[in-house]
Structure 1
Amino acid sequence: MTVSRDGVEITRASVGLRSERGPILLAVMLSVGLVAIDSTILATAVPAVVDDLGGFAQFPWLFSVYLLAQAVSVPIYGKLADLVGRKPIMLVGVGLFVVGSLLCGVAWGMGSLIAFRVLQGLGAGAVQPIGMTIVGDIYSLEERAKVQGYIASVWAAASLVGPTLGGVFSDYLSWRWIFLVNLPIGMAAAWVLWRRFDEKIVRSRHHVDVAGALLLAVGGTLLLLGLLEGGVRWGWGSPQSVGIFVVAALLLVGFVQVERRSPEPVLPLWIFRDRVLNAAAAASFVVGVLMLGLSSYVPLYAQSVLGHGAVMAGLALAAMTIGWPIAATTSGRFYLSIGFKLTMLMGAGFAVAGAMLLLTVGPDASLLHLALPCFVMGIGFGFVASPAVVAAQSSVAWQHRGVATGANMFARSVGSAVGIAVFGAIVNSIVASRTGGTVPDLEHLPSGVLDPAIHAVFVASAVVSVVLLGVGLLMPRRLVEPATEQ
């Protein structure tokens, strides 16, 4: 049916038969799987890449530019999906990711590989949020939790398969296969979406908010760049850091002014006045912060303090990604019976409990002792993040669901960048105080120095986890889907 708001008129996506949703969901899972595996597969191949291409000092940018491109493009893709439909934007995202993967696979130097990673990041910026939006379109409120669990399972599988696959390719084939393996998967996902996903869109003239998109992209890039590189490439109080944050703030203020006057803003300001969307975004932000505390420092603690190998260290972190889909899959039973607020508060309770267990881990702990808190926190994240996305999608009509989903994903990306900055600053300050003011390579520090530094991160994570309880209180107990959904 046709719905309208703020002058936008569009017909929601429709799938004629329930049996047709299966192939569409499979295509979404394949597409999300590309991004999920890519987030873990490259880490184990860095030595092989550097040996082949050189540029050891530049290799951290392989991850930074990807995250930047992905994060800042998410809200823009979300708006475009609301204007022209999910299918074309999803196909563009998969296409960019596949082309970027092909170019990464034939890169001739570290500079070209970094540039092509930007293209991959731009593709990933469309795949994940639009995939989640498609799920929100074709499944009911009651069904979305189970489907969210399927998507979370893709990430869980990727966390286990990705590092192993990266090591196998690097040791027995070539690191280039890390990127080339994406081609058949991406083309299969695109083919299924093209053939089986049918959208009926009312084509009308739209105002393209070019100024808003540019201000958001550049301002968001500078903000995230300042958070990612502050305290690493330059000091927090250095002219570079201050200049980046000042320019970012000015651009984002300009973005707000443009959005107030735009007839079709790329990020409508009304979403910041919506209680449900604000609570969902705050939950995603905090989960993003906590995830970086675990994913960045739990494997390092397992290797450098507890003395385990890289594979065993990865398994300790994988416990989190096992707990997440278990909770995500079952969360629907809870928010349909006790409401979103109590479900998220329950998840926050698990996150706090897991964080407190993490505080008991010491240099003599077993790997199981380290993995158990990660598993419990993963359950907490599943009961917080998945209901938050469902709540955000369910609180708006079809023509604003892309924006709502994109804003939620963007909040998690910003939270991840903040987590990198805060936890990195904590570790660096403690290491510097114990090594005479210098911060050498963390992986080669003695456990006597690294243990208290990472333990301080665990303490900070426990403090942040308590914030989730406050976030849960912001969420209404129950939601009523907009009438235009009927």
Structure 2
Amino acid sequence: MRQKRLGLIISALMLGMLLAALDQTIVATALPTIVSDLGGLEQLSWVVTGYMLASTVSTPLWGKLGDQYGRRKLFVAAIVIFLIGSALCGISQSMGQLIAFRSIQGLGGGGLMVLAQAIVGDVVSARDRGRYQGWFGGVFAVSSIVGPLLGGVFVDNLSWHWVFYVNLPIGAVALFVIVAVLPRDATLTKHRIDYAGVVLLGGATSCLVLITTWGGTVYPWSDPVIIGLAVAALALLAGWVGVERRAAEPVLPLGLFRLRAFAMTAVVGFVVGFGMFGALTYLPLFLQVVHGVSPTVSGLYLLPMMAGTLVLSIASGQIISRTGRYRFLPITGTAFATAGLFLLSTLDEHSGMLTMGLYLLVLGMGLGMTMQVLVIIVQNAVDFKDLGVATSGATFFRLIGGSFGVATLGSVFTWRLNDDLVQLLATTRLPAGFDPALIQRDPTAIQRLPPGPAAAFLHAYSDAIATVFAVASPIMGLAFVLTWFIPQQRLRETTRVADLGEGLGATSAQRSSLAEVERGLVRLADADLRRGYYDRLGSLAGLKGIPPEGVWIVARLGGEDWVKGEDLARRANVSRARGRPYTDQLIEAGLVERSADGDSLRLTPQGQESALRLLRSSREGLSRLVADWGPHPQIEQLCDELTPELLGAFADRPAGRG
């Protein structure tokens, strides 16, 4: 694929992924303004939960349908659904409408992120795949940092509607590029899609989230609605278990839960998502209502948390890559996160912003030491056949935990606020004609009250939000206890490669086990290519005295007939004059011959033997990197296919036949 066309495709895929990832966090700083405009403070959590549930539960379908019917078609459909959802969110006239339209948006967003990552593997060569995967990881990192800040900027300078409208022109550009330049799918893969498993699991999850949202606030715990939801959730879960036992390709194989590493990381990931998204949802409310800062400034105050998460995620990946040790990281991380949530529970309307920033930094550092590492632990614990589904399962539980966290903590907030307001109204004298219910519909109305009543209402909001973190802290403490039960095992080579995007991603990836191994292998090989690879390979192949540039030429000419010198120079991105000394040395060594007109080069029989040795040495190097997965035909075939592509030689024949 020509470089310009490839650049357009990659840019469009990154735009699509950026939009979907941003919409996970961009609404956080806009929520107080949305509530003041539309009302429905008690429904605030569902603006976040609706998006997360829809994107998370639909992810397995997007991945499998993309394999079966073509990723290009499905990616276009995902963009269209996402843009329709965004437009509808922007014109919402009530909180109920916004929640429904956010669910539509989340349905498209899940497809955007899953399919964008899959399409990269279709259009990028194996040799360059590791580099592009790093770029996509950066998209997740950027979105987690700038999302809350961008939301505040749009609210302050335009309106909250533009948090959603901004997706339209950017998404339209991505859609146009994909339709215009992305090639049609060459190969399709048949799947036996577990539709029943997806529907049952999604239904059970939705019922449980509704119970945590409505129980004790909208309805008493003994109300028939809550009891009915509980019965429905149990029935749906029982049905899901029965379906998964018989499914050919289950959404989540039940056998994974027999592995202690997977079971513990699933629970810990659930709690980590619970704490992270709960904090992101209610901190802007605390900042904007209690401290009276603008949405943009509230986004700035969240930066310590997001920066701590990003920096410690990168550092954790580097530590694991160099030492092979990982167990201490989630233990330390959940301890930090527990302490951070506890410290946040001590905040009140008089707390300083520097103090809050330090507390948020502690929480962010804890999350950063935990999220990415949980995915690595799961990948390292399972067999090859379960690698793909276990990886997506680990991320799935974190995102479902986020949905439960936002909903549960929203119920805690509503309950505590209502209780505090009852006491406040009994002891505080309000201005004549002032409707106390207005405070719950529009928190910004507090700023229009006289100093005395305003201070009382601010304390009520502060106490309610502090209670949110007081409840979240011991739950995170439970995760700390469970991390001690995670076993330490020898780390596989392909698992050592840090994947920032998987750790910070807002949706669970859907890749096959082979794609997961390839993902790690190409990134290891890419790193190897940057560290004197051809120099070492030449020594292994017996090309003593030949510099790396000469080894590269031998590898490139392997299996070819006459190759024009200008074509070879173009592939090396150098001038012919610069490459001539190396070709002259190879000619003197009897490895290369030049055509009579001096324009073309090819290997001599001796050179072809050297090229074969290079190929075999490269193949052996890849085999060593995947040896700890044990013998498996698919992995062997993967090495055969990747070797010539990574080496740049024998592009038209498998490595195992030379």
Same fold, TM-score > 0.5, yes or no: yes
Q: Which residue of 2 aligns with 1:411?
A: 397
**Residue 269 of structure 1, CA deviation:** 2.1
**Residue 324 of structure 1, CA deviation:** 1.5
Structure 1 pair 91–384 and aligned structure 2 pair: CA distance change class (3 A): farther
Aligned with 2:266 (options 258, 278, 281): 281
Q: Which residue of 2 aligns with 1:236?
A: 221
Deviations 1:273-307 (A, max 9, x none): 34444344323211111123322332333344445
2:462 is equivalent to residue 476 of structure 1: no
2:262 is equivalent to residue 251 of structure 1: no
Aligned with 1:371 (options 357, 363, 384): 357
**Residue 158 of structure 1, CA deviation:** 1.5
Structure 1 pair 51–374 and aligned structure 2 pair: CA distance change class (3 A): closer
Q: Which residue of 2 aligns with 1:335?
A: 320
SS in structure 1 of the partner of residue 192 of structure 2: coil
Please tell me whether the aligned partners of residues 156 and 295 of structure 2 are also in contact (alpha carbons under 8 angstroms).
Answer: no
Please tell me whether the aligned partners of residues 82 and 403 of structure 1 are also in contact (alpha carbons under 8 angstroms).
Answer: no
For the residues of structure 2 that align with 1:83 and 1:317, how far apart are their CA atoms?
Answer: 41
Q: Which residue of 1 aligns with 2:62?
A: 77
Aligned length: 465
Structure 1 pair 419–472 and aligned structure 2 pair: CA distance change class (3 A): same
Deviations 1:60-108 (A, max 9, x none): 5655543432233234435556767866655543332123324545668
Structure 1 pair 467–78 and aligned structure 2 pair: CA distance change class (3 A): farther
For the residues of structure 2 that align with 1:46 and 1:457, how far apart are their CA atoms?
Answer: 17
Q: Which residue of 2 aligns with 1:36?
A: 21
CA RMSD of aligned residues (A): 4.2
Structure 1 pair 302–110 and aligned structure 2 pair: CA distance change class (3 A): closer
Q: Which residue of 1 aligns with 2:336?
A: 350
Please tell me whether the aligned partners of residues 358 and 458 of structure 1 are also in contact (alpha carbons under 8 angstroms).
Answer: yes
**Residue 377 of structure 1, CA deviation:** 1.2
SS in structure 1 of the partner of residue 302 of structure 2: helix
Q: Which residue of 2 aligns with 1:159?
A: 148
Deviations 1:200-253 (A, max 9, x none): 75634x323332232223223222232233344323332111111211210121
Q: Which residue of 2 aligns with 1:8?
A: none
2:334 is equivalent to residue 323 of structure 1: no
**Counterpart mapping for 1:394-473 below 5 A:** 403-436=389-422, 441=439, 443=443, 444=446, 446-473=457-484
SS in structure 1 of the partner of residue 158 of structure 2: helix
For the residues of structure 1 that align with 2:149 and 2:108, how far apart are their CA atoms?
Answer: 23
2:473 partner letter: A
**Counterpart mapping for 1:252-267 below 5 A:** 252-267=237-252
Please tell me whether the aligned partners of residues 313 and 368 of structure 2 are also in contact (alpha carbons under 8 angstroms).
Answer: yes
**Counterpart mapping for 1:63-212 below 5 A:** 63-80=48-65, 89-105=74-90, 115-129=100-114, 148=137, 150-170=139-159, 177-189=162-174, 195=181, 201=187, 203-204=189-190, 206-212=191-197
1:153 partner letter: V
1:447 partner letter: L
**Residue 148 of structure 1, CA deviation:** 3.9
**Residue 156 of structure 1, CA deviation:** 0.9
For the residues of structure 1 that align with 2:222 and 2:259, how far apart are their CA atoms?
Answer: 35
SS in structure 2 of the partner of residue 446 of structure 1: helix
For the residues of structure 2 that align with 1:399 and 1:81, how far apart are their CA atoms?
Answer: 20
For the residues of structure 2 that align with 1:398 and 1:185, how far apart are their CA atoms?
Answer: 39
2:364 partner letter: G
**Residue 55 of structure 1, CA deviation:** 8.0
Structure 1 pair 25–352 and aligned structure 2 pair: CA distance change class (3 A): farther
2:268 partner letter: A
Deviations 1:401-429 (A, max 9, x none): 65334433331232123323443444444
For the residues of structure 2 that align with 1:22 and 1:286, how far apart are their CA atoms?
Answer: 39
Deviations 1:25-82 (A, max 9, x none): 7555423321233345456667987999x78699756555434322332344355567
Please tell me whether the aligned partners of residues 323 and 378 of structure 1 are also in contact (alpha carbons under 8 angstroms).
Answer: yes
SS in structure 1 of the partner of residue 193 of structure 2: coil
Q: Which residue of 2 aligns with 1:224?
A: 209
Moved more, 290-299 or 418-427: 418-427
Q: Structure 1 vs Structure 2: percent identity of aligned residues? A: 33
Please tell me whether the aligned partners of residues 156 and 294 of structure 2 are also in contact (alpha carbons under 8 angstroms).
Answer: no
For the residues of structure 1 that align with 2:11 and 2:361, how far apart are their CA atoms?
Answer: 27
Which of these two proteins has the greater Rg computed from alpha carbons? 2
For the residues of structure 1 that align with 2:350 and 2:39, how far apart are their CA atoms?
Answer: 37
SS in structure 1 of the partner of residue 327 of structure 2: helix
**Residue 122 of structure 1, CA deviation:** 0.7
1:467 partner letter: L
For the residues of structure 1 that align with 2:296 and 2:225, how far apart are their CA atoms?
Answer: 38
Structure 1 pair 113–357 and aligned structure 2 pair: CA distance change class (3 A): closer
1:380 partner letter: G
TM-score by length of 1: 0.78
**Residue 364 of structure 1, CA deviation:** 2.7
TM-score by length of 2: 0.60
Structure 1 pair 382–423 and aligned structure 2 pair: CA distance change class (3 A): same
**Residue 369 of structure 1, CA deviation:** 0.6
Please tell me whether the aligned partners of residues 129 and 402 of structure 1 are also in contact (alpha carbons under 8 angstroms).
Answer: no
Moved more, 391-400 or 89-98: 391-400
1:419 partner letter: G
Please tell me whether the aligned partners of residues 16 and 112 of structure 2 are also in contact (alpha carbons under 8 angstroms).
Answer: yes
Moved more, 462-471 or 389-398: 389-398
Aligned with 2:255 (options 265, 270, 285): 270
Moved more, 18-27 or 102-111: 18-27
For the residues of structure 2 that align with 1:289 and 1:19, how far apart are their CA atoms?
Answer: 43
SS in structure 2 of the partner of residue 151 of structure 1: helix
- Unaligned runs of 5+ residues in structure 1 are 1-15
For the residues of structure 2 that align with 1:374 and 1:280, how far apart are their CA atoms?
Answer: 24
SS in structure 2 of the partner of residue 263 of structure 1: coil
For the residues of structure 2 that align with 1:22 and 1:396, how far apart are their CA atoms?
Answer: 36
**Residue 126 of structure 1, CA deviation:** 2.6
- Unaligned runs of 5+ residues in structure 2 are 426-435, 447-455, 495-628, 640-658
Moved more, 179-188 or 75-84: 75-84
**Residue 343 of structure 1, CA deviation:** 2.6
Structure 1 pair 328–355 and aligned structure 2 pair: CA distance change class (3 A): same
